[in-house]
Amino acid sequence: MVQHTSASLTIQENADPSARRDLEGWLRRLVPEDDPNFTHTLEGPDDMPSHIKAALTSTTLSIPIWNGSLALGAWQGVYLWEHRRQGSTRRCVVHIG
């Protein structure tokens, strides 16, 4: 779990970086900065969009462990997706049960 409201976790394509760029571009178009309806703007124009992006994606992941490794598919990678233009230190909590 990522302990922040303006970042998320995702499992996505890990072989071709263009997939990450396309996802980022699509989300940026879906939730643009400087929307005149946003009132939560104290920390800048990317403040409220970053919260919406985190709400639309995920802050937690559940990944099985198989033979001591994450059971990800051949092309999958785990990403901490920073939704602010200027990221900061992020913390994740990992639970293995």
Domain at 18, CATH number: 2.60.120.460
Start-to-end CA distance of the chain, whole Å, equals 14
The per-residue pLDDT for range 31-59, each reduced to its tens digit, is: 999 899 999 999 999 999 999 999 999 99
**Is the residue at 95 inside a domain?**
no
- Domain assignment of residue 96, yes or no: no
Domain membership of residue 43 as a residue range = 7-82
- Is the CB of residue 87 less than 8 Å from the CB of residue 8? no
Does 72 fall in a domain? Answer: yes
Report if residue 17 sits inside a domain. yes
Task: Count the neighbouring beta carbons within 10 Å of the beta carbon of residue 82.
Answer: 19
- Per the structure, the count of domains in the chain is 1
> What pLDDT, on a 0 to 100 scale, did the predictor assign at position 53?
97
Domain annotation covers residue 70: yes
Predicted confidence at residue 87, as pLDDT, reads: 81
The whole-model pTM stands at: 0.89
Instruction: Report the pLDDT value the prediction gives residue 95, as an integer from 0 to 100.
Output: 93
Q: What is the pLDDT of residues 50-97, one digit of tens each?
A: 999 999 999 999 999 999 999 999 999 999 999 999 888 999 999 997
HSE of 3, CA atoms in CB hemisphere, 13 A? 6
Residue 34 counted as domain residue: yes
Give the per-residue pLDDT at 88.
86
Assess if residue 92 is contained within a domain. no
Query: Is position 49 within any domain?
Result: yes
